[in-house]
Amino acid sequence: MLDPVPGNDGTTNKRRAAAKERREKGLEVANTRALILTRSNGEIESYDGVWPTNFHKGIPHNCYGIPDPAAFGDFQTNLSNANVTAGNYATFNVALGPIDAGGSNKGTRADGFTAVTAFHSLIPEDKKKPEVPEKRVKARNWESPLGGHAYDLEGPDAGDVGMAAAPSLGDGEMIAEMAEVYALAVLRDTPFETWNKPGTEVKVGFKAHDGEPGDINLYPIGPISGIIDDLKNLDFFKPYPNEADPATPPDRRRRARRVKNEELTLDSMFRGSTPGAMTGPYLSQFMLIGTGGEEEMGGMPDDGAKDVRNTCPPGTDASGKTLRAEDGYIGYGAQRIDQRIRAQLPGLDHMTDWTLWLDVQNAAKVNGLDKFDEGGKPRFINTPRDLATYVHFDQLYQAYLNACLLMLEYKVPFDQGMPSGNGHLTRGSFATFGGPHILALMTEVSSRALKAVRRQKFQHHLRGRPEQLAAMLTLALHHPDKLGTAGPLAKSTMETFIQQAPNIAGMVDIRNTAQNAMRIHSQAATDEAKRIFPTRLDEQNDCGFSPDDGKNYLLPMAFPEGSPMHATYGAGHATVAGACVTMLKAFFEMSPNEIKGDAVGIDQPLTPEDAKGGDWWKSASMAERFMLKKAYIPPSDPWAATLGVSSDVGAADLTIEGELDKLAANISIGRNMAGVHFYADYYDSLRMGERVAVGILQEQMATYNDPASMRLRTFDDDRLLISTTGTGDGKIELLDGTSPDVWWQRHVPQPGGVGV
C-alpha cells in the first residue's frame, strides 16, 4: 500500500509532528533577518498647529487648508492604536469632512477653529439627465488606516521592513520632487516617443474657440527642452563630489535618476532607477506586446512543464486569424487580455481652483467624474495621461499578472535552481515550481506588500501628498503667516523653485489658468457630457482665498478626486511593483543558458556554488526568449490597430529582467504622472517590496525537501541567491560578499550607521 514518509497508514500520522517542526524552522529562518527600526523625518513635531507636509486629507480644514488641530490629534492617536488594546474593536472615531456634509463624522473638533462648513462642489443628481438639479458631493473615508497593525504568518511582518525618512521641507530633494511632479503634469498629453526630441512642443488643454462649451483643444505652450533645462538647473540635480559610492538615501535617489552618473537628459528624465528601466523605449514591452502566433513562437525552449497555452488554438483569435506580438492580445486560457486601454479625455485636469481643491482636502467624494475619450476605440498606452489612467483603475498586481502570462505563453523556462521542470526527464513542475505556483505568488505577495506599506504610510511617516504640498507652497507665496513657523521656509522654498525652474513654473500657471477658464465655460453647456468638471456652488464667491493671477501653482491632477485617502510615503503601487517583479525575476530563468545536465541524463538543480558562476548571471534578451525581432512602441496614430516599431533599439538590446524592472517603474511613476506620488515614494517603496518578496521566498525554501535555489538581480544590481539544503533551512546570499543583514537594512538607516 502507499504510505508516504513521514507515514500515515490510517492509524498513525507522523506527518503532523514533522510539519510542526518545519513550521518552527521557518520561524527560525524569519528570525535570522536583521532588525529594522523605522524613523520619520520628524516634521510632524516641527510646525506646531499647521503640519504643511503631513497627510491630513479628510480632516476638517479652514479656508487656507490648515487642519483642525483637535481632529488631527485624534487622527494620530487612532492611527497609533494608542487607545485600543488587542481584542477590542477600533472605532476610529475621527472628525471627517465638513460637519454638515453627507457621510461626514463629527468626531472631536476644536472650539474656535473656523472650519469650512460645507462642500462647494456640485455634481448632477443623474448624469444621464442634465436637467435634474445638481447636488453637493458626500464625504469619502480613509482607506485601511489600521491595515498596518495586522500581523503576517509568512514572509516579513509589516513591522520587519521599513523605509528611510522622507525628504523634508526646504530640502533640495523636496524641491526637485515637486519640480518633477509639476513637469509630469504639464507633459501629461505629450506622447512618450517624442520626449527625446528637444523641439517637441508641450501642449495643454484650452477651451476650443470654435467649439461648444466644454470642447477642448490642445495648444503648445513651450518646448520640452525648457523642462529638462530647468531640471538640470535645480541644485539637487547638479553634479556632486564623491558620488561613486552614494551612502545616504538622498545620494542614492539622486544618482539613480542618471545614467552612469551623467547629467539628466531628455532620454533619462522621469525614468526608473535601474539600468533596464533606462534602456530603450520608455514603456516596457510587457505593457504593449501580446502573445505571438505559432510561427513567431516556434523554437522556444521546452521547460518540461504542462503546456499552459490554452488559446483557441494557441496564437489565434476566435476567427482563426494568427495573432502577432504587435496585435497586443495576451492569451488567458480560452480568453484573451487586450493591452489597450479606454483613454481619458486629453487636456482635462482637476483641482486647479483653490475652492474645489479645498473640497477635495475636506474629503469631497468626486470619484467617478472621470471623462473618457468616447470618440475612439480602446488604444495602446501612448501618453502620461494614458498611463495615469491605467494605474487609476488597475488591480494592483494586474500588470505583473499580464507579464507572468506572457512569460508562460512564450514558455520562458523557470529558474534552473528548481528541483523539477526545465527539462528534467521525469519530474515536471506544476503545483510546485510551476505555473500555478507563480500565479499564486502574484496575489500572495501583493497582500503582504500592501500591509507593509500601509504601516509606513499611516503609522510611521504620514507624509502629505503632492497636491497638498503644492497648495501649501502656493499659500506661502501669498500668506506665509498662515503657515506659522513653517511660513518663511515654505515661502523661500517656493521662490527657489520658481527661480531655478521658471519654464516649469510658468507652464503650470498657464495650465491652471486655462483649466479654470474651461471649467467656467463648460458650465454653460446644455449637454451634460460637455460639463466636464465638478461645478462650484457660487463662482462669484470663493471660500476666502484664491491665488493671484500668475501665481496659481496648484498641482493639476489627472483624477477628479486627486490622491487616495492615505498618505503618500510609501506608495502601494510601487511596493506591489517591487514585490511582484522580484517574484517574477526569481521564479523565471533570466539567463540564456541551456539546461544543466549530469552524467546519467537527468538534470539536477543548480547548486549555490553553480549559481555563483558568472555565466548564470548573463541576461537573456527579449529576442532570445520571446523570439521578437523588433522592439515595440505605441503607434504614432494612437488609434492604430497594431504597435509601432522602435527605430532606435531592437529586441536584442532589451533584456527580460530589464523590461521587468522597467514595468515596475512604469506602473510606479505612472502614479507620479497622475500627481499622486513623488519619486522617493517610488524608489524606497520598490525596494521595500523587493524585501517582502525575498522574505516570502526565503521562508518557503524551508518547506521543501529537495535542495533548491532561486536567483535574481536586485533593483540595486546585487546578485542575490535564495537557497535551501532541503532540511528546513532558507538562506540568502549576496554574491559580492555583502552581508544579508547589510542588504536588508541598506535603505533604512539604523543606529550605528547601518544603511546610512
**pLDDT per position as a tens digit, 678-734:** 999 999 999 999 999 999 999 999 999 999 999 999 999 999 999 999 999 999 999
Segments making up each domain of the chain, as ranges: 1-27
| Nearest CA among 563, 569, 567, 691 for reference residue 177 | 569
599: its cell numbers:
552524467
Question: Which pLDDT score, from 0 to 100, does residue 131 have?
Answer: 52
Is the bond preceding 6 in cis, omega lying within 30 degrees of 0? yes
Q: Read off the pLDDT of each residue in 243-252 and give the average, rounded to a whole number.
A: 77
In this predicted structure, the answer to whether residue 314 has a pLDDT above a threshold of 70 is no
Q: Cβ of 548: how many Cβ atoms within 10 Å?
A: 9
Q: Cβ of 31: how many Cβ atoms within 10 Å?
A: 9
Angle, alpha carbons 156-158-164 (nearest 5°): 100
Instruction: Give the side-chain half-sphere CA count within 13 A for 417.
Output: 30
Beta strands in 290-405 (DSSP E): 329-332, 335-338
**pLDDT per position as a tens digit, 63-121:** 999 999 999 999 999 999 988 888 899 999 999 999 988 899 999 999 999 999 888 88
Q: What are phi and psi of 245, to 5 degrees?
A: -130, 75
In this predicted structure, the answer to whether residue 612 has a pLDDT above a threshold of 90 is no
Q: What's the CA gap between 644 and 627, in Å, rounded? A: 17
Q: How far is CA 610 from CA 139, 141, 320, 616, in A?
A: 58, 53, 45, 8
Residue 604's pLDDT band (boundaries 50, 70, 90)?
Answer: low
Question: Which pLDDT score, from 0 to 100, does residue 133 have?
Answer: 52
Q: Cβ of 609: how many Cβ atoms within 10 Å?
A: 7
| Nearest CA among 751, 636, 754, 730 for reference residue 155 | 730
In this predicted structure, the answer to whether residue 312 has a pLDDT above a threshold of 50 is no
Question: Which pLDDT score, from 0 to 100, does residue 308 have?
Answer: 36
Higher per-residue confidence, 12 vs 173: 173
Collapsing DSSP to helix, strand or coil, 322 comes out as strand
Q: What's the CA gap between 498 and 477, in Å, rounded? A: 11
Q: What's the CA gap between 27 and 320, in Å, rounded? A: 52
Which residues make beta-bridge pairs with 631?
A: none
**pLDDT per position as a tens digit, 362-418:** 999 998 888 888 766 899 999 999 999 999 999 999 999 999 999 999 999 999 889
Q: What is the CA radius of gyration of the chain?
A: 27
Provide the b/e sequence for 431-470 (b: ≥16 CB within 10 Å). ebbbbebbeebbebbbbbbbbbbbbbbbbbbbbbbbbbbb
Q: What's the CA gap between 324 and 310, in Å, rounded? A: 16
Question: Which pLDDT score, from 0 to 100, does residue 123 have?
Answer: 72
**In the block, which residue shows the cell 504643511?**
52
Q: What's the CA gap between 292 and 632, in Å, rounded? A: 13
Question: Which pLDDT score, from 0 to 100, does residue 541 have?
Answer: 66
**Contacts of residue 472, Cβ cutoff 8 Å, sequence gap at least 6:** 52, 53, 65, 464, 483, 486, 490
**Contacts of residue 549, Cβ cutoff 8 Å, sequence gap at least 6:** 513
Question: Which pLDDT score, from 0 to 100, does residue 740 have?
Answer: 95
Q: What's the CA gap between 376 and 639, in Å, rounded? A: 7
In terms of C-beta density within 10 A (0-12 exposed, 13-18 middle, 19 or more buried), how is residue 356 classed?
buried
Question: Which pLDDT score, from 0 to 100, does residue 189 have?
Answer: 96
Q: What percent of the chain has pLDDT over 90?
A: 69
Sheet holding 708-713, edge to edge: 708-713, 719-724, 731-734
**Contacts of residue 119, Cβ cutoff 8 Å, sequence gap at least 6:** 97, 98, 101, 136, 137, 359, 362, 364
Angle, alpha carbons 272-653-276 (nearest 5°): 15
Q: What's the CA gap between 510 and 171, in Å, rounded? A: 26
Q: What's the CA gap between 706 and 597, in Å, rounded? A: 17
Question: Which pLDDT score, from 0 to 100, does residue 543 have?
Answer: 79
> How far does CA 94 lie from the centroid of its chain?
28
Question: Which pLDDT score, from 0 to 100, does residue 244 have?
Answer: 55
Question: Which pLDDT score, from 0 to 100, does residue 294 have?
Answer: 42
Question: Which pLDDT score, from 0 to 100, does residue 295 have?
Answer: 41
Instruction: Give the side-chain half-sphere CA count within 13 A for 416.
Output: 22
Residue 520's pLDDT band (boundaries 50, 70, 90)?
Answer: confident
Q: How far is CA 716 from CA 242, 244, 673, 731, in A?
A: 18, 14, 24, 19
Q: Which DSSP string corresponds to 189-221? A: TS-GGGTT-TTPEEEEEEE-TTS-TT-EEEEEE
316: its cell numbers:
489565434
In this predicted structure, the answer to whether residue 299 has a pLDDT above a threshold of 50 is no
Q: What's the CA gap between 602 and 548, in Å, rounded? A: 76
**pLDDT per position as a tens digit, 430-455:** 999 999 999 999 999 999 999 999 99
Question: Which pLDDT score, from 0 to 100, does residue 307 have?
Answer: 38
201: its cell numbers:
512642443
Give, for 487, the enclosing helix (H) or strand (E): helix 487-500
Q: What is the mean pLDDT of the chain?
A: 88
Q: What sign has the CA pseudo-torsion 23, 26, 28, 30? A: negative
Question: Which pLDDT score, from 0 to 100, does residue 310 have?
Answer: 34
Question: Which pLDDT score, from 0 to 100, does residue 410 have?
Answer: 94
Q: How far is CA 191 from CA 26, 200, 224, 631, 694, in A?
A: 49, 10, 12, 17, 36
Higher per-residue confidence, 254 vs 10: 254
Question: Which pLDDT score, from 0 to 100, does residue 596 have?
Answer: 58
Question: Which pLDDT score, from 0 to 100, does residue 755 have?
Answer: 67
Amino acid of residue 381 = I
**pLDDT per position as a tens digit, 140-171:** 999 999 999 999 999 999 999 999 999 999 99
**In the block, which residue shows the cell 493639476?**
556
Indicate the pTM of the whole model.
0.94
Is 642:379 a contact under the CB 8 Å cutoff? no
